[in-house]
Amino acid sequence: MELTITTLIENSPDDQGRLRFEHGLSLYIELKDGKERAVKALFDTGQSGDFIENAEKMEKSLDDMDYLFISHGHYDHGGGVPKLLPLLGSKTKTVVGGEIFRRKYKLRENGYKFNGITFSEKDFADRKLELIKITGKSQQISEQMTVFHHFSRRNGFETVSPKMVYRKEAREDKKDETYVPDDFQDEIVLGIDTSKGLVVIAGCSHAGIINILQDISDQTGKPICMVVGGTHLVDGDAERIRRTAQELKKMNIQKIAVSHCTGEAGAEKLKEVFGKDFIRNNTGNVIKL
């Protein structure tokens, strides 16, 4: 089996300076088992749709994909969906957490600012594209792909920013808007079975990367060999970063390829701890397993 993960867009530029980059994340996944054609999937779409131009330059086709995964309902992960939808073939199945259509906001100095997604279920229905909403703890999508959801929160050091909220639907007799802390119940993470163990692909890890990995490990009983994507250490203090790196090593993770919301301090600590097994997964990077 051969697994290839290509970073179509990310916060950091590519090494040759020929691709677009932005605050966001989009990963192109190709999975070959030697028996039939490769399974192709896209994990997140960045914020603007610029990943589409990068996909063309890197010769990654978007019209014949098997799956589209949107990790959660923030603009920097699902913002490219409206530009992508017209390009998708009818066989592409889109997989999201059941709560993804919550109206998400972030508290700024001048009030709440919308930072959610602009697409809806109707957009998929109008194009007769299948939309799979995950409602349980996990769901097997293919022979080697499982989507995980509704993560147990067991670590006190992995907290969610109180600035992240979503707007509750107001009752008919109430005109005021009600904002509640976002518990990120919509967040999904992809697990891919390989001969070396599970490869876990995360968008932002708002639930806490250690919470997520421990939950997956408990559910599956399988070793996790590699973690790819965002770890949301960008807002973490030194203690959270230290504990995260410590727990990752304790779980015997073999490689870690961080992107997007990991932050410089988090990336430097992980590089220190993992050494040659650390990958700074910038725009254009290709991982083969």
* Strand partners of residue 26: 9
Please list the residues that pair with 74 across neighbouring strands: none
**How far apart, in Å, are the Cα atoms of 23 and each of 134, 171, 187, 260, 279?**
26, 35, 18, 7, 18
Task: Determine the 3-state secondary structure of 157 from DSSP.
Answer: coil
Q: Alpha-carbon dihedral of residues 220, 222, 223, 226, nearest 10 degrees?
A: -60
pLDDT for 245: 96
- Per-residue pLDDT reduced to its tens digit, 145-176: 999 999 999 999 999 999 999 998 755 555 56
Query: What is the 3-class SS of 56-104, one letter each residue?
Result: HHCCCCCCCCCEEECCCCCHHHHCCHHHHHHHCCCCCEEEEECCCCCEE
**Residue 48 near residue 37, CB atoms below 8 Å:** no
Q: Domains in the chain, start-ordered, CATH in brackets?
A: 2-288 (3.60.15.10)
Q: Please give the share of the chain, as a percent, with pLDDT higher than 90.
A: 92
* Average pLDDT in the chain: 95
pLDDT of residue 176: 60
Using the predicted structure, report yes or no on whether residue 177 has a pLDDT greater than 80: no
Nearest partner of 192 among 154, 158, 142, judged by Cα = 142
CB neighbours of 237 closer than 8 A, spacing ≥ 6?
none
* Residue 37, pLDDT score: 76
Confidence bin at 47 (pLDDT 50/70/90): very high
Q: Is 268 helix (H, G, I), strand (E, B) or coil?
A: helix
